[in-house]
Amino acid sequence: MIIPEPLQLAIEEFSKFPGIGKKTAQRLALFLLRRHTDDVNRFIAAIEGLKENLHQCKTCYNITSSEYCEICSSPKRDHATLCVVEDASDIFAIERSNQFNGKYHVLGGVLSPLSGVGPESLKVKELLERLKSEDVHEVILALNPNTEGETTALYINKLLRGLPIKVTRIARGLPIGGDLEFSDEATIGRAVIGRVEYT
Amino acid sequence: MIIPEPLQLAIEEFSKFPGIGKKTAQRLALFLLRRHTDDVNRFIAAIEGLKENLHQCKTCYNITSSEYCEICSSPKRDHATLCVVEDASDIFAIERSNQFNGKYHVLGGVLSPLSGVGPESLKVKELLERLKSEDVHEVILALNPNTEGETTALYINKLLRGLPIKVTRIARGLPIGGDLEFSDEATIGRAVIGRVEYT
Protein backbone atom coordinates (compact mmCIF):
# COMPACT_ATOMS: atom_id res chain seq x y z
CA MET A 1 0.00 0.00 0.00
CA ILE A 2 1.10 3.48 -0.86
CA ILE A 3 0.00 5.11 2.44
CA PRO A 4 3.09 5.49 4.68
CA GLU A 5 3.00 3.48 7.88
CA PRO A 6 2.80 6.32 10.43
CA LEU A 7 -0.22 7.72 8.57
CA GLN A 8 -1.78 4.27 8.28
CA LEU A 9 -1.33 3.82 12.04
CA ALA A 10 -3.02 7.15 12.81
CA ILE A 11 -5.89 6.27 10.43
CA GLU A 12 -6.38 2.95 12.23
CA GLU A 13 -6.44 4.71 15.61
CA PHE A 14 -9.03 7.23 14.41
CA SER A 15 -11.12 4.36 12.96
CA LYS A 16 -11.54 2.98 16.48
CA PHE A 17 -13.76 5.93 17.45
CA PRO A 18 -17.50 5.26 17.30
CA GLY A 19 -19.05 6.40 14.04
CA ILE A 20 -15.72 7.09 12.37
CA GLY A 21 -15.16 5.06 9.21
CA LYS A 22 -11.95 4.56 7.25
CA LYS A 23 -12.51 7.58 4.99
CA THR A 24 -13.30 9.98 7.82
CA ALA A 25 -10.35 8.59 9.79
CA GLN A 26 -8.04 9.38 6.85
CA ARG A 27 -9.49 12.89 6.61
CA LEU A 28 -8.93 13.49 10.34
CA ALA A 29 -5.37 12.11 10.28
CA LEU A 30 -4.44 14.20 7.23
CA PHE A 31 -5.96 17.26 8.88
CA LEU A 32 -3.70 16.74 11.92
CA LEU A 33 -0.71 16.13 9.66
CA ARG A 34 -1.29 19.48 7.95
CA ARG A 35 -1.80 21.42 11.17
CA HIS A 36 0.93 23.35 12.92
CA THR A 37 2.89 21.33 15.49
CA ASP A 38 1.73 23.70 18.26
CA ASP A 39 -1.91 22.97 17.41
CA VAL A 40 -1.28 19.23 17.38
CA ASN A 41 0.48 19.49 20.74
CA ARG A 42 -2.48 21.43 22.12
CA PHE A 43 -4.76 18.62 20.92
CA ILE A 44 -2.55 15.97 22.55
CA ALA A 45 -2.39 17.97 25.80
CA ALA A 46 -6.19 18.19 25.87
CA ILE A 47 -6.46 14.41 25.50
CA GLU A 48 -3.84 13.80 28.17
CA GLY A 49 -5.73 16.24 30.40
CA LEU A 50 -8.88 14.16 29.94
CA LYS A 51 -7.32 11.07 31.45
CA GLU A 52 -5.20 12.85 34.05
CA ASN A 53 -7.63 15.39 35.43
CA LEU A 54 -11.00 13.73 35.20
CA HIS A 55 -12.47 10.94 37.28
CA GLN A 56 -15.81 9.85 38.67
CA CYS A 57 -17.60 11.81 41.37
CA LYS A 58 -17.46 9.76 44.57
CA THR A 59 -21.19 10.18 45.13
CA CYS A 60 -22.95 10.10 41.78
CA TYR A 61 -20.25 8.83 39.35
CA ASN A 62 -20.61 11.90 37.13
CA ILE A 63 -17.40 13.08 35.43
CA THR A 64 -15.54 15.63 37.52
CA SER A 65 -12.14 17.18 38.01
CA SER A 66 -12.71 17.37 41.79
CA GLU A 67 -13.49 14.71 44.35
CA TYR A 68 -17.21 15.46 44.16
CA CYS A 69 -18.92 16.84 41.07
CA GLU A 70 -20.31 20.34 40.74
CA ILE A 71 -23.88 19.11 41.13
CA CYS A 72 -23.25 16.99 44.24
CA SER A 73 -21.30 19.86 45.86
CA SER A 74 -23.95 22.48 45.09
CA PRO A 75 -26.11 23.58 48.04
CA LYS A 76 -28.71 24.85 45.55
CA ARG A 77 -29.67 21.41 44.24
CA ASP A 78 -32.67 19.56 45.59
CA HIS A 79 -31.46 16.57 47.64
CA ALA A 80 -34.84 14.88 47.62
CA THR A 81 -34.97 14.09 43.89
CA LEU A 82 -32.50 11.71 42.31
CA CYS A 83 -32.31 11.24 38.56
CA VAL A 84 -30.80 7.92 37.46
CA VAL A 85 -29.03 8.04 34.07
CA GLU A 86 -26.95 5.63 32.00
CA ASP A 87 -24.04 7.92 31.35
CA ALA A 88 -22.53 11.31 32.32
CA SER A 89 -23.39 12.63 28.84
CA ASP A 90 -27.06 12.17 29.77
CA ILE A 91 -26.50 14.56 32.69
CA PHE A 92 -25.17 17.20 30.27
CA ALA A 93 -28.25 16.71 28.08
CA ILE A 94 -30.72 16.98 30.98
CA GLU A 95 -28.90 20.00 32.42
CA ARG A 96 -29.23 21.78 29.07
CA SER A 97 -33.03 21.46 29.40
CA ASN A 98 -32.98 23.52 32.64
CA GLN A 99 -35.95 21.51 33.90
CA PHE A 100 -34.32 19.52 36.66
CA ASN A 101 -32.79 20.81 39.85
CA GLY A 102 -32.23 17.56 41.74
CA LYS A 103 -29.18 15.33 41.89
CA TYR A 104 -28.04 12.51 39.64
CA HIS A 105 -26.80 8.95 39.80
CA VAL A 106 -24.82 7.56 36.87
CA LEU A 107 -25.23 3.80 36.37
CA GLY A 108 -22.30 3.61 33.96
CA GLY A 109 -24.27 1.54 31.46
CA VAL A 110 -27.47 -0.45 31.08
CA LEU A 111 -28.25 -4.14 31.53
CA SER A 112 -27.24 -6.07 28.45
CA PRO A 113 -27.01 -9.83 29.03
CA LEU A 114 -25.76 -10.41 25.47
CA SER A 115 -22.76 -8.11 26.08
CA GLY A 116 -22.25 -9.59 29.54
CA VAL A 117 -23.38 -6.47 31.41
CA GLY A 118 -25.22 -7.56 34.56
CA PRO A 119 -26.32 -5.49 37.59
CA GLU A 120 -22.90 -5.99 39.23
CA SER A 121 -21.24 -4.06 36.34
CA LEU A 122 -23.48 -1.06 37.02
CA LYS A 123 -23.59 1.31 39.99
CA VAL A 124 -26.85 -0.27 41.22
CA LYS A 125 -25.53 -1.35 44.62
CA GLU A 126 -24.17 2.19 45.07
CA LEU A 127 -27.62 3.59 44.20
CA LEU A 128 -29.26 1.46 46.89
CA GLU A 129 -26.67 2.58 49.42
CA ARG A 130 -27.29 6.24 48.55
CA LEU A 131 -31.02 5.74 49.00
CA LYS A 132 -30.36 4.33 52.47
CA SER A 133 -28.18 7.20 53.63
CA GLU A 134 -29.71 10.15 51.72
CA ASP A 135 -33.19 11.55 52.22
CA VAL A 136 -34.50 10.90 48.72
CA HIS A 137 -38.25 11.22 48.07
CA GLU A 138 -38.32 10.53 44.35
CA VAL A 139 -36.16 8.56 41.96
CA ILE A 140 -36.56 9.53 38.29
CA LEU A 141 -35.41 6.82 35.90
CA ALA A 142 -34.13 8.75 32.87
CA LEU A 143 -32.88 5.86 30.78
CA ASN A 144 -33.01 5.69 27.01
CA PRO A 145 -36.31 4.47 25.55
CA ASN A 146 -34.86 1.32 23.99
CA THR A 147 -34.98 -2.35 25.02
CA GLU A 148 -31.91 -2.20 27.23
CA GLY A 149 -32.86 1.10 28.84
CA GLU A 150 -36.41 -0.08 29.54
CA THR A 151 -35.18 -3.40 30.95
CA THR A 152 -32.76 -1.62 33.27
CA ALA A 153 -35.50 0.79 34.38
CA LEU A 154 -37.87 -2.11 35.13
CA TYR A 155 -35.12 -3.88 37.07
CA ILE A 156 -34.34 -0.84 39.21
CA ASN A 157 -38.03 -0.11 39.73
CA LYS A 158 -38.43 -3.66 41.07
CA LEU A 159 -35.47 -3.23 43.44
CA LEU A 160 -36.91 -0.01 44.85
CA ARG A 161 -40.46 -1.29 45.23
CA GLY A 162 -40.21 -1.90 48.98
CA LEU A 163 -38.74 1.51 49.77
CA PRO A 164 -40.85 4.57 50.71
CA ILE A 165 -39.69 6.33 47.56
CA LYS A 166 -41.71 7.47 44.55
CA VAL A 167 -40.23 5.98 41.37
CA THR A 168 -40.98 7.76 38.08
CA ARG A 169 -39.64 7.63 34.56
CA ILE A 170 -39.31 10.45 32.04
CA ALA A 171 -42.16 10.72 29.55
CA ARG A 172 -42.20 9.15 26.10
CA GLY A 173 -44.10 10.87 23.31
CA LEU A 174 -43.69 13.06 20.27
CA PRO A 175 -40.52 15.15 20.39
CA ILE A 176 -41.08 18.93 20.35
CA GLY A 177 -41.02 20.13 16.75
CA GLY A 178 -41.77 16.57 15.66
CA ASP A 179 -44.41 15.56 13.15
CA LEU A 180 -47.10 12.93 13.59
CA GLU A 181 -46.85 11.99 9.93
CA PHE A 182 -43.17 11.15 10.17
CA SER A 183 -43.13 9.61 13.65
CA ASP A 184 -42.77 5.85 14.03
CA GLU A 185 -45.65 3.72 15.30
CA ALA A 186 -43.95 2.93 18.61
CA THR A 187 -43.53 6.63 19.44
CA ILE A 188 -47.10 7.48 18.43
CA GLY A 189 -48.38 4.46 20.39
CA ARG A 190 -46.55 5.62 23.51
CA ALA A 191 -47.82 9.17 22.99
CA VAL A 192 -51.41 7.91 22.84
CA ILE A 193 -51.03 5.68 25.88
CA GLY A 194 -49.36 8.49 27.83
CA ARG A 195 -51.98 11.12 26.90
CA VAL A 196 -52.50 13.87 29.43
CA GLU A 197 -55.82 15.49 30.37
CA TYR A 198 -56.23 19.24 29.98
CA THR A 199 -56.80 20.74 33.39
CA MET B 1 -21.69 25.00 32.67
CA ILE B 2 -21.79 21.55 34.14
CA ILE B 3 -19.19 19.99 31.79
CA PRO B 4 -15.83 19.92 33.64
CA GLU B 5 -13.12 22.05 32.08
CA PRO B 6 -10.72 19.31 30.93
CA LEU B 7 -13.59 17.63 29.08
CA GLN B 8 -14.75 20.95 27.63
CA LEU B 9 -11.21 21.57 26.38
CA ALA B 10 -11.02 18.17 24.69
CA ILE B 11 -14.45 18.74 23.09
CA GLU B 12 -13.27 22.10 21.72
CA GLU B 13 -10.14 20.49 20.28
CA PHE B 14 -12.16 17.75 18.58
CA SER B 15 -14.56 20.40 17.19
CA LYS B 16 -11.67 21.89 15.24
CA PHE B 17 -11.53 18.85 12.94
CA PRO B 18 -13.33 19.26 9.62
CA GLY B 19 -16.85 17.86 9.66
CA ILE B 20 -16.87 17.33 13.44
CA GLY B 21 -19.62 19.28 15.21
CA LYS B 22 -20.05 19.90 18.94
CA LYS B 23 -22.10 16.76 19.54
CA THR B 24 -19.73 14.42 17.70
CA ALA B 25 -16.79 16.10 19.46
CA GLN B 26 -18.40 15.35 22.83
CA ARG B 27 -18.98 11.74 21.80
CA LEU B 28 -15.35 11.34 20.71
CA ALA B 29 -13.97 12.97 23.88
CA LEU B 30 -16.18 10.82 26.12
CA PHE B 31 -15.13 7.73 24.17
CA LEU B 32 -11.47 8.54 24.87
CA LEU B 33 -12.27 9.25 28.53
CA ARG B 34 -13.83 5.80 28.86
CA ARG B 35 -11.02 3.97 27.10
CA HIS B 36 -8.15 2.31 28.88
CA THR B 37 -5.12 4.56 29.46
CA ASP B 38 -2.97 2.22 27.32
CA ASP B 39 -5.33 2.67 24.38
CA VAL B 40 -5.34 6.44 24.79
CA ASN B 41 -1.54 6.44 24.94
CA ARG B 42 -1.44 4.37 21.75
CA PHE B 43 -3.69 6.97 20.09
CA ILE B 44 -1.45 9.82 21.27
CA ALA B 45 1.68 7.97 20.10
CA ALA B 46 0.13 7.51 16.64
CA ILE B 47 -0.57 11.25 16.40
CA GLU B 48 2.91 12.15 17.58
CA GLY B 49 4.28 9.70 15.01
CA LEU B 50 2.37 11.53 12.29
CA LYS B 51 4.18 14.79 12.90
CA GLU B 52 7.56 13.29 13.78
CA ASN B 53 7.92 10.64 11.09
CA LEU B 54 6.15 12.07 8.08
CA HIS B 55 7.19 14.85 5.76
CA GLN B 56 6.92 15.79 2.10
CA CYS B 57 8.73 13.84 -0.61
CA LYS B 58 11.53 16.04 -1.96
CA THR B 59 10.47 15.40 -5.54
CA CYS B 60 6.69 15.20 -5.68
CA TYR B 61 5.57 16.52 -2.23
CA ASN B 62 3.64 13.35 -1.47
CA ILE B 63 3.57 12.31 2.21
CA THR B 64 6.42 9.98 3.08
CA SER B 65 8.43 8.68 6.00
CA SER B 66 11.62 8.64 3.87
CA GLU B 67 13.39 11.37 1.93
CA TYR B 68 11.68 10.36 -1.32
CA CYS B 69 8.26 8.72 -1.46
CA GLU B 70 7.61 5.11 -2.42
CA ILE B 71 6.35 6.11 -5.86
CA CYS B 72 9.26 8.42 -6.73
CA SER B 73 11.77 5.77 -5.56
CA SER B 74 10.12 2.94 -7.49
CA PRO B 75 11.92 1.83 -10.67
CA LYS B 76 8.65 0.27 -11.89
CA ARG B 77 6.83 3.57 -12.32
CA ASP B 78 6.62 5.29 -15.68
CA HIS B 79 8.77 8.44 -15.61
CA ALA B 80 7.19 9.90 -18.72
CA THR B 81 3.72 10.50 -17.25
CA LEU B 82 3.17 12.97 -14.44
CA CYS B 83 -0.15 13.27 -12.66
CA VAL B 84 -0.74 16.64 -10.96
CA VAL B 85 -3.00 16.49 -7.90
CA GLU B 86 -4.16 18.92 -5.24
CA ASP B 87 -3.33 16.80 -2.23
CA ALA B 88 -1.57 13.59 -1.14
CA SER B 89 -4.98 12.05 -0.36
CA ASP B 90 -5.76 12.30 -4.10
CA ILE B 91 -2.72 10.10 -4.74
CA PHE B 92 -4.12 7.44 -2.40
CA ALA B 93 -7.45 7.62 -4.25
CA ILE B 94 -5.89 7.32 -7.72
CA GLU B 95 -3.60 4.50 -6.57
CA ARG B 96 -6.64 2.55 -5.35
CA SER B 97 -7.99 2.63 -8.92
CA ASN B 98 -4.92 0.73 -10.20
CA GLN B 99 -5.20 2.58 -13.51
CA PHE B 100 -2.14 4.81 -13.32
CA ASN B 101 1.48 3.77 -13.26
CA GLY B 102 3.19 7.12 -13.70
CA LYS B 103 4.47 9.58 -11.13
CA TYR B 104 2.75 12.36 -9.24
CA HIS B 105 3.16 15.99 -8.34
CA VAL B 106 1.27 17.37 -5.34
CA LEU B 107 0.39 21.06 -5.65
CA GLY B 108 -0.54 21.34 -1.97
CA GLY B 109 -3.78 23.17 -2.75
CA VAL B 110 -5.63 24.91 -5.56
CA LEU B 111 -5.80 28.54 -6.61
CA SER B 112 -8.28 30.41 -4.45
CA PRO B 113 -7.92 34.18 -4.66
CA LEU B 114 -10.63 34.69 -2.02
CA SER B 115 -8.64 32.65 0.52
CA GLY B 116 -5.41 34.31 -0.56
CA VAL B 117 -3.99 31.20 -2.27
CA GLY B 118 -2.04 32.31 -5.33
CA PRO B 119 0.36 30.31 -7.56
CA GLU B 120 3.26 31.11 -5.21
CA SER B 121 1.53 29.18 -2.37
CA LEU B 122 1.38 26.06 -4.55
CA LYS B 123 4.17 23.83 -5.86
CA VAL B 124 3.76 25.25 -9.36
CA LYS B 125 7.33 26.57 -9.71
CA GLU B 126 8.57 23.16 -8.54
CA LEU B 127 6.40 21.48 -11.20
CA LEU B 128 7.97 23.62 -13.95
CA GLU B 129 11.44 22.78 -12.65
CA ARG B 130 10.66 19.06 -12.69
CA LEU B 131 9.43 19.32 -16.26
CA LYS B 132 12.74 20.95 -17.22
CA SER B 133 14.94 18.28 -15.63
CA GLU B 134 12.76 15.16 -16.06
CA ASP B 135 11.81 13.54 -19.36
CA VAL B 136 8.03 13.95 -19.05
CA HIS B 137 5.87 13.35 -22.14
CA GLU B 138 2.44 13.84 -20.61
CA VAL B 139 1.07 15.85 -17.70
CA ILE B 140 -2.34 14.69 -16.45
CA LEU B 141 -4.19 17.35 -14.49
CA ALA B 142 -6.22 15.37 -11.95
CA LEU B 143 -7.78 18.25 -10.05
CA ASN B 144 -11.25 18.22 -8.54
CA PRO B 145 -14.07 19.15 -10.95
CA ASN B 146 -15.08 22.31 -9.11
CA THR B 147 -14.45 26.01 -9.79
CA GLU B 148 -11.14 26.19 -7.98
CA GLY B 149 -9.87 22.91 -9.41
CA GLU B 150 -10.84 23.86 -12.96
CA THR B 151 -9.28 27.32 -12.58
CA THR B 152 -6.02 25.81 -11.33
CA ALA B 153 -6.02 23.28 -14.18
CA LEU B 154 -6.57 26.05 -16.76
CA TYR B 155 -3.77 28.09 -15.19
CA ILE B 156 -1.28 25.20 -15.30
CA ASN B 157 -2.35 24.26 -18.82
CA LYS B 158 -1.58 27.82 -19.91
CA LEU B 159 1.86 27.71 -18.26
CA LEU B 160 2.75 24.46 -20.04
CA ARG B 161 1.48 25.52 -23.46
CA GLY B 162 4.92 26.32 -24.88
CA LEU B 163 6.50 23.06 -23.75
CA PRO B 164 6.65 19.90 -25.93
CA ILE B 165 4.45 18.07 -23.42
CA LYS B 166 0.96 16.68 -23.89
CA VAL B 167 -1.39 18.11 -21.24
CA THR B 168 -4.56 16.15 -20.41
CA ARG B 169 -7.16 16.20 -17.68
CA ILE B 170 -9.09 13.31 -16.18
CA ALA B 171 -12.55 12.73 -17.67
CA ARG B 172 -15.78 14.13 -16.26
CA GLY B 173 -19.00 12.17 -16.69
CA LEU B 174 -21.40 9.89 -14.89
CA PRO B 175 -19.79 8.02 -12.01
CA ILE B 176 -19.78 4.22 -12.33
CA GLY B 177 -22.90 2.86 -10.66
CA GLY B 178 -24.45 6.31 -11.02
CA ASP B 179 -27.91 7.00 -12.30
CA LEU B 180 -28.90 9.47 -15.07
CA GLU B 181 -32.16 10.23 -13.24
CA PHE B 182 -30.38 11.34 -10.08
CA SER B 183 -27.37 13.06 -11.63
CA ASP B 184 -27.15 16.84 -11.66
CA GLU B 185 -27.42 18.82 -14.89
CA ALA B 186 -23.74 19.87 -14.87
CA THR B 187 -22.55 16.25 -14.69
CA ILE B 188 -24.95 15.11 -17.41
CA GLY B 189 -23.97 18.10 -19.54
CA ARG B 190 -20.29 17.22 -19.21
CA ALA B 191 -21.03 13.57 -19.97
CA VAL B 192 -22.82 14.57 -23.19
CA ILE B 193 -20.08 16.97 -24.27
CA GLY B 194 -17.40 14.37 -23.50
CA ARG B 195 -19.19 11.53 -25.32
CA VAL B 196 -16.91 8.87 -26.78
CA GLU B 197 -17.41 7.05 -30.09
CA TYR B 198 -17.65 3.27 -30.10
CA THR B 199 -14.70 1.90 -32.04
Please give the pLDDT value at position A193.
Answer: 87
Which of B50, B54, B63, B72 is the mutation pick for testing A, counting most A CBs within 10 A?
Answer: B50
Residues 21-50 of A with CB under 8 A from B: 24, 26-33, 37, 39-40, 42-44, 46-50
- Confidence grade of residue B5 (pLDDT, cut at 50, 70, 90): very high
Of the candidates A90, A87, A151, A88, the residue with the CA atom closest to the CA atom of residue A118: A151
- Confidence grade of residue B118 (pLDDT, cut at 50, 70, 90): very high
In terms of pLDDT, which residue wins out, A74 or A178?
A74
Residue in chain B closest to A39 (alpha carbons) equals: B13
Q: pTM to 2 decimals?
A: 0.82
Of the candidates A129, A20, A38, A115, the residue with the CA atom closest to the CA atom of residue B27: A20
Please give the pLDDT value at position B195.
Answer: 86
Measuring CA to CA, how many Å separate B96 from each of A109, B101, B171? 41, 11, 17
- On whether the CB atoms of residues B74 and B83 are closer than 8 A, the answer is no
Average pLDDT over residues A40-46: 96
Average pLDDT over residues B168-190: 88
Q: What is the pLDDT of residues B48-67, one digit of tens each?
A: 999 999 999 999 999 999 99
Please give the pLDDT value at position B71.
Answer: 95
State the CATH class of domain B56-197.
alpha beta
- On whether the CB atoms of residues B90 and B153 are closer than 8 A, the answer is no
Task: Provide the 8-state DSSP code for B175.
Answer: P
- DSSP lists the bridge partners of residue B56 as B63
Q: Is the pLDDT of residue B106 over 90?
A: yes
- Which among B7, B17, B63 has the least Cβ separation from residue A28? B17
Q: What is the dotted CATH code of the domain comprising B5-53?
A: 1.10.8.420
The share of chain A scoring above pLDDT 90, in percent, equals: 80
Please give the pLDDT value at position B7.
Answer: 95
Instruction: State the maximum Cα–Cα separation within chain A, in Å, rounded to a whole number.
Output: 69
* Contact at CB, B92 and A2, closer than 8 angstroms: yes
Domain ranges of chain A: 5-53, 56-197
Residue in chain B closest to A37 (alpha carbons) equals: B51
Please give the pLDDT value at position A1.
Answer: 58
Please give the pLDDT value at position B45.
Answer: 96
The share of chain B scoring above pLDDT 90, in percent, equals: 80
Q: State how far residue A13 is from chain B, nearest Cα, in angstroms.
A: 6
- On whether the CB atoms of residues A109 and A88 are closer than 8 A, the answer is no
Q: Does A3 touch chain B (CB under 8 A)?
A: yes
- On whether the CB atoms of residues B59 and B74 are closer than 8 A, the answer is no
Q: State how far residue A164 is from chain B, nearest Cα, in angstroms.
A: 30
Average pLDDT over residues A73-84: 95
Q: What is the pLDDT of residues B6-51, one digit of tens each?
A: 999 999 999 999 999 999 999 999 999 999 999 999 999 999 999 9
The share of chain A scoring above pLDDT 70, in percent, equals: 99
Q: Is the pLDDT of residue B199 over 80?
A: no
CA atoms of A26 and A8, how far apart (whole Å): 8
How many other C-beta atoms can be found within 10 angstroms of the C-beta atom of residue A109? Answer: 15
Please give the pLDDT value at position A198.
Answer: 83
Q: What is the pLDDT of residues B67-105, one digit of tens each?
A: 999 999 999 999 999 999 999 999 999 999 999 999 999
Q: What is the pLDDT of residues B119-154, one digit of tens each?
A: 999 999 999 999 999 999 999 999 999 999 999 999
Mapping DSSP to helix (H, G, I), strand (E, B) and coil, where does residue B100 land? coil
Q: State how far residue A83 is from chain B, nearest Cα, in angstroms.
A: 15
Strands B81-85 and B103-106: parallel
- Confidence grade of residue A105 (pLDDT, cut at 50, 70, 90): very high
Q: Is the pLDDT of residue B1 over 70?
A: no
- Which among A6, A24, A50 has the least Cβ separation from residue B10? A50
CA atoms of A147 and B119, how far apart (whole Å): 58
Q: Does A93 touch chain B (CB under 8 A)?
A: no
CA dihedral A36, A49, A64, A70 (to 10 degrees): -60
